[in-house]
Structure 1
Amino acid sequence: MSNELVWDRPEPPSKPSPTPLSRELIVQAAIRLADEGGLDEVSLRKVAGALNAGPMRLYGYIETKDELLDLMVDEIYGEIALPEPGTEWRAALTRIAHGIRAAARRHPWFVDLLGGRPHQGPNSLKHIEASLATLDGKPEFPTIDHVLGAVGAVMAFVHGAVRGEIAEARAEQSSGMTEEQWQRASGPYIERVLATGKFPMLAKVVYDADHTNVGAMFDTGLSYVLDGIATRHTPGSTPGGSASAPSAPTTAPAGR
C-alpha cells in the first residue's frame, strides 16, 4: 500500500479495455449506489460490479474504502456553489449554509461523513478557504481565531440542522409514515401526557407554535446564529473570553 495520499497519487495509465476505468467513473458509480441505498451499499466489490469490472482493477485507482469515501465527499463539495469574493459576510455564509443543506438533501449519506478531521481534497479545501474568506479582513473579526470561531459556529449549526432533517426523512422512510401521520398516531398519548400539566413548555410547543416547514426553521435558526455573531462582534461589545474554534470549519468522515 502506498504512503501517498490519494490526492498525490496519480492514476495508472489508461489501457484499452471494453470496460474503461478512471477515478471519476469509480466515484460517480459509488455516489449512485450511496444515493440509492446509503453508505452500506458502497463497497469496492459493488462499485466494481456496477462498472462491469473486476474488483482487483479498482485497486490501481483506490486502495481502501476510506479513500473512496474521501473522494465521494470531495465530489459533493464540488457541487456546492460558493459566494463571490467581496460578498457581504452574512450573505456569503448564508449562501454556503444553503449550499451544504441542498447537497445533503440530494445526497443524504453526505451528513454521515461530516464530523471529525477536515477533508483534504481540492474541492473540500476550496470550500474551507472560501468559508474563512467570508470574514477575513473584516474589522469585526480582527484575528484568525475570531474568523474560526464565527465560521465554526455556523458550520456546527448547519451540520446539526441538516442531520436532523435527514434523520426525519429516514424515519419516515423506515416507518412508512409521514411526520403528519406519525403525529396523528401519537396524538392521543401526547394529549394525555400534556393534560397532566407537568409539561407546560411542551404544551406551548404543541398548541401555540407555528410549526413551520423545515426550510423556514433552518432559515430561522441560521439567522439566530448570524445575529449572535454580529452582536458579539459589534464595535463596543464586550465578548466573554477569547474566541476559540475547531481547527477548520468543514469536517471529515468519522466512525466509518
Structure 2
Amino acid sequence: MNRLQPLSEVRIVEAAARVADIGGYAAISMRNVGKELGVEAMSLYHHVASKDALLDALTDWIFAQIELPGSEAPWREGMTIRAASARNVLVSHPWALTLIDSRVNPGAALLRHHDAVIGCLRRGGFSVELAAQSFSVIDAYVYGFALTERNLPFDPETSDESVDFAGEVMPMLADYPHLAELVQHLTGSGEYSFSNQFAVGLDIILDELGRRLQAEAEAESGGW
C-alpha cells in the first residue's frame, strides 16, 4: 500500500474492509482505519462525514463486489451466478452479514444490485410478485448458508475436519438415531464437504421457482 497516495473515500472504505477482514466487525473504527492508512483518524473526516457514513459506504462496497446477472442472461443462469458470487463475497468477508444487518441507508451499489436481480427475473417472465418472492427466497438461502458456514466448528471446505468432527459427536448421538444416520451417511465416505452442498440447495430452489414460473404462465394463457 502506498501511504503517499492522497486520501479518498474509496481508499478509506477499502482500508476499512482490510481492518474488518483482520479484526472483524467490532474492529471497524476511525482510529483503526486511520492506522491502516498511516494517518490520523481526524484526517478521514475530510472524506467521510462520520463512522456511520463509513459503515454505509462499506456496506455499498460489499454489494459492489457481487457479480450481477448480465442484461442478456437467462434467469436461471443469472440467479446462479449472482447467488454463488454473493456467497463467495460473504464467506470471504465474514463480518459483512453483521454489517449489512445493521444498516438502513441503501447506497448506489446496493440499489443497482437489487435492480439487476429483479430485472433478470422480470425479463425471464416472472411477474412482479413472483420476482419479489424469488428474490427473497434466494437471499434467505444465500445469507443463511453463509452464516452457517461462518459458524461451523470445522472448516466447511474440507472433508478431513468434518469427518473428525463427526467422530467426536457420534458417541453423543446414541439416543438420536436419525441424526446418527445422517452424520454417518454424510461423512462415511470421507469426502463430505458442507460447502459443496450450496449448489445442490440452490438447484432445489431454482427448480421450484421454475415450476412456479411455468404455472404462472399457464394460468395467464388459460392452461393452454
TM-score (norm 2): 0.81
Among candidates 161, 168, 181, match of residue 185 of structure 1: 168
Among candidates 85, 92, 111, match of residue 99 of structure 1: 85
Q: Does the 8 A contact of 1:132 with 1:147 survive in 2? A: yes
The C-alpha deviation readout for 1:218-246, integer Å capped at 9, x for no partner, is 0111111111212223237999xxxxxxx
Q: Distance in 2 between matches of 1:28 and 1:164?
A: 26
The C-alpha deviation readout for 1:162-206, integer Å capped at 9, x for no partner, is 1111122xx459xxx94443333333x32xx32x4xx33213202
Shift of 1:33: 0.8
Q: Amino acid of the residue matched to residue 64 of structure 1?
A: S
1:38 partnered with 2:24: yes
Q: Distance in 2 between matches of 1:92 and 1:160?
A: 20
Q: Distance in 2 between matches of 1:236 and 1:221?
A: 23
1:202 partnered with 2:189: no
Q: Amino acid of the residue matched to residue 75 of structure 1?
A: W
Among candidates 148, 151, 166, match of residue 167 of structure 1: 151
Q: Does the 8 A contact of 2:149 with 2:195 survive in 1? A: no
Task: Give the match's secondary structure for 2:69.
Answer: coil
Q: Distance in 2 between matches of 1:129 and 1:217?
A: 28
Q: Distance in 1 between matches of 2:184 and 2:143?
A: 29
Matched residue, 1:62: 48
Task: Give the match's secondary structure for 1:114.
Answer: helix
Counting helix residues as a fraction of each chain, which structure ranks higher?
2
Q: Distance in 1 between matches of 2:216 and 2:21?
A: 49
Q: Distance in 2 between matches of 1:118 and 1:89?
A: 28
Q: Does the 8 A contact of 2:8 with 2:47 survive in 1? A: yes
1:145 partnered with 2:129: yes
TM-score (norm 1): 0.72
Matched residue, 1:127: 113
Higher relative contact order, chain-length normalized (CA < 8 Å, sep 6+):
1
Shift of 1:119: 5.4
Shift of 1:215: 3.1
Q: Amino acid of the residue matched to residue 134 of structure 2?
A: A
Q: Amino acid of the residue matched to residue 50 of structure 2?
A: T
Give identity over the alignment, percent: 28
Matched residue, 2:222: none
Shift of 1:19: 7.1
Task: Give the match's secondary structure for 2:39.
Answer: coil
The C-alpha deviation readout for 1:72-112, integer Å capped at 9, x for no partner, is 12122222222211211111101000010111222121122
Structure 2 unmatched runs, 5+ = 220-224
Shift of 1:128: 0.7
Q: Distance in 1 between matches of 2:197 and 2:186?
A: 12
Q: Does the 8 A contact of 1:19 with 1:53 survive in 2? A: no
